[in-house]
Amino acid sequence: MAEGYEAGLRLLDELKEQGQLRGYAMLPAARGALLLRLERWQQAAMAYRDALALSTQDEDRSFLAGRLALAEAALS
């Protein structure tokens, strides 16, 4: 993100609003990744929970669960 993480979040939010990627687990996962970098732990955890709810691939779910655990650990 050459323009920064906040700019990336705005782009992801625009994609979400357009609805074309509705149901695509990697959209909230990408949002979670940016939120982690911004140390917005609660929002990152929520984004990863959303991604997990949409994901059907075991490998993806394992990765997302690990990122969720990272965000939740930072909350403590």
Q: Which domains does the chain have, with CATH numbers?
A: 5-75 (1.25.40)
Instruction: Specify the pTM.
Output: 0.92
- Per-residue model confidence as pLDDT tens digits over 9-29: 999 999 999 998 999 999 999
CB 44 within 8 A of CB 57: no
pLDDT tens digits for range 23-49: 999 999 999 999 999 999 999 999 999
SS3 for the chain, per residue?
A: CCCCHHHHHHHHHHHHHHCCCCCCCHHHHHHHHHHHHCCCHHHHHHHHHHHHHHCCCHHHHHHHHHHHHHHHHHHC
